[in-house]
Structure 1
Amino acid sequence: MLSPHTPTPPSNSSFAVASSALRWRWPRGVDGYARVVPHVPVSRSAILEHVARIDAEKYARRRNYTDGGTRISAFLTRGLVSLPEVRDVVLQRHTPGQAYKFVFELAWREYWQREWLFRGDAIFADVKLRQHPVDSTRMPRAVLEARTGVEALDIAVRDLYACGYLHNHERMWLAGLICNAARTHWWEPSRWLYYHLLDGDPASNTLSWQWVAGTFGHQKYLAAQENINRYSDYRQHGSIIDHDYDVLAELPVPEELSGRADLELTWTPPQSEALAIDPAKPTVLHHSFWLNASWRADLDANRVVLLEPSWFARFPVSPLVTDYIMRCAREIPGARLVVAEFDDLRLSGDVFFMDHPSVPHWRGTADEMPRLFPHVPNKSYGSFTSYWKQCQRTNR
């Protein structure tokens, strides 16, 4: 069944980032699509100032529009700030009632992370149901080349390549078109989107694609042109998705989406710095999902940002994303950026790192990731609804 309703995956998951209401914006060129902006905030002070400016009530009203949102996903994915920090800053200016929808959406990110923690690599295959129907595992060429004929989506793909971000709704519109109009299995398209996103998070991205494809729930999602016209700046008619939902559900794959292409996604590692370890000091290790400059800042320690080629071989990212990770890493005082495997470091003495499903093989003292709802029982939940109910019970 295709859902005609506005979807609920979070604006702070990997399926979201845009806002025009806050200070920094993506400028657009004369042809209408965004240009690369190398100055997305990475410093703690700039990010916390950005968070403090969030209008939670306006967010609740406008989050589904392409000029709405918070633009904090990249900060959360890279661990520059934590979920509890963001919540607490917003609650300084809003009542819990005013911030309810905002916190609700933050909880989606925590939910996806918990599912990855407990399901492990099983999230990288169909979780609950097999996707059906599937005509191909290869990407529609028209999507890759931004020529589907759906103006809002073609511009969105160009924005993705240029800037590394898309609004939540744009991501879902694209995913619905690829999975349910073009009948493509979600895995390769999810890798394509992850590759280009500054805020690419394996759990949020993967499980959001599965939500759209109907493998993480009982409904699929595919937007009609009317939905895009309502929530974007475009007023197009006559596109391949300009049909009622009951018609869309029965249409064969449009000819425009029938051509296929293989993905060529590779990671180009940055220059690795020489590793200089003082054996008399402990070592604080950062990974690409925890680049928080304030974490254990009072500890006199060796500091290393470790990028493991084995991880990036599995989950490659674009040069734009790599550059963003490097900019984040430079905010950590005294940290060396090293491209190597953990075992290659041959560390002795105390080692500290932030626990994360991407580094299960790291050895040392693993700090627990700060959580919005730390008292919720540690288990996998069948749905976000059941998880959210448990959050509300434990937060009373």
Structure 2
Amino acid sequence: MGEYNRQPVYPNLFSFIIAPPASGKGALKYSRLLGSIIQSKLLEISQKEERKYQKELHLYKQRKRKKNNNPDEEPPSRPPFRVFYIPANSSYAKVLNHLSENGGIGVICETEADTMGYILKQDWGSYSDMLRKAFHHESISSSRKTDNQYMEVTNPRLSVALTGTPGQILGLISSADDGLFSRFLFYVYKSIPVWNDVSPQPELPCLTDTFSKLSMDIYHMMTLMSDMESTFVLTPEQWNLLNDSFTHLLTHVTTFNSVNAASIVKRLGLLLYRMAMIFTTLRNYELNIQEKEMVCSDQDFHLVLRLSRLYLEHSLIMFNSLPKEDNKVVFTEAPNKEAFFNSLPHTFTRADAIALGIKYH
């Protein structure tokens, strides 16, 4: 955990890779394998506890049917069914339920962005507001009238990784003015059509096996870091560089692009901070540094600073490519009639009133 803008922050990112079909962006499936051990272990525990619960529930129902049962006996409580990956095609209620049972933690990882885009268009699946709140770890709540149920996730820590074609993004983010847009790190590319050698290469490892093995390292790192409860910090010099750099970027972007693009720069500062948290965690794990206070190295900080400028370029490409909202609310001051009336003298002519009224028109 770290602190950014006087608020607690966790290293959760929203990322979106956009490219034409068959451009290689589906390699995200290998990244998904990095969490396969975590997913399988959580599923194993959840399924075991579910079987135990069903057995206890069956025995409870048997006892209730008997005349000599204890009338004050309560039914067994259903254990949470925890998972690491949350399917993007889940309903709003199911995503919230997954986060609740996971203690607020979850990952949505999809190689086809329209999987999420289709769901967000449905009344029962529109969880765009949930994503916007989860990005800032804001509380998410829901209440159901039918069973008088209230559910709240007070500190969501959700990560999202998506890939898709340029046409698929509109199903997820309808315009550059959508608040979800500036919460994502974008990477956009177009590859030159080249046929790759698809024959077996004995000297090269199988990617599926390689990433599956690396998932054990990720599991060990997660276990180690969870037990340590570390705090992430930047040095005073790094904070100064962050503030100076983003002051310049904000001025540059709003001057040469649009004032509406300011949100990209402002949220990119937070995304940079989260990337620095991830880089520092990986480096400390590799060097076997186990300290409760994780200080970002200058090397890692400059790396994420360079990356943030790269992602800014890609976000601006998307900003200038996506449609803008047509029906914008234009904020105007209240009518000046009262101010005009109060400025009139006790006695005046019609000509005096017209001349004075020009100032308040």
TM-score by length of 1: 0.21
Between Structure 1 and Structure 2, whose CA radius of gyration is higher?
Answer: 2
Structure 1 or 2: more helix by fraction:
2
Higher strand fraction (1 or 2):
2
Give the structure-2-normalised TM-score: 0.22
